[in-house]
Amino acid sequence: MSVDISRDRRPRIPITTTYKIILTGPDGKVLKVIEGKNDDPFTYSFVWLFYASMIAPSQSIDIPDVTGTELFLFTPSVPTGYTGASAVIPYPAAALCLVNCPGTPNVIYTLKLPGIWLFSTPFGSGPFVQPSVSNIYSSLITSVAYSPPSISENITATVGATNTITLSQTIINNTGSTITVASFAVVAAFYPVTSSGFSGTPYFIDIAYYNLPTPLTWSPGIALNVQVSFVVPT
């Protein structure tokens, strides 16, 4: 009798993310390409949300949105004694969205588009060890032109394959001034779900973050195409 153990002996590749930033001039010429990866990219909010998806609605969970407002999931009220900014999401289901998300023009946030957000400050700097958009929200670069993000996939059922889901977004510095980019994040729209579908205006939460090895000097008129690929082995 033979036993196939090839799957167990193959090199294990963890779930990780890679990124590519392509700088393009007004004439369409590629000026620079920056590539990197983050072996531990996921934020505190995303990990808790992943956990909540497994136990809801048996237990209340709370996560911050991008401004630090605490979102209390699967509970009818804010816990007694909590005095910070908060919102209640009592519904037993929720969904994330990155592309073609409804209701985003009505959100309360400065940038009204989920996708890839740029920052002038790195994550984990100063007293804020935990990487979170809410800690550096004031460093969000908002004066530039963010295009809607797009998403693509290369997924196969083949054992041992490397599957990728890639989020891509182009952002143009149309300010007339040089901007420093130190980090960026993947930010998703977060919707409570009822029997009627998505409920109202979404919240925004950060799901992954990236610090650039060296801050990027971004000249006026230059376009950044930022691509983030989630790499998942099977």
Give residue limits of the domains in the chain. Answer: 11-41+93-233
The helix/strand/coil state of 137 is: helix
State pLDDT tens for residues 99-136: 999 999 999 999 999 999 999 999 987 666 678 999 99
> In what helix (H) or strand (E) does residue 54 lie, and over which residues does it extend?
helix 44-55
For residue 231, the cross-strand partners are: 16, 164
Contact 192, 178 (CB under 8 A): no
**10-residue mean pLDDT series, the chain (234 residues):** 45 76 96 89 83 72 91 86 88 85 92 97 76 93 96 88 93 97 96 77 93 96 96 82
The tokens describing 122, both together, are: 């790195």
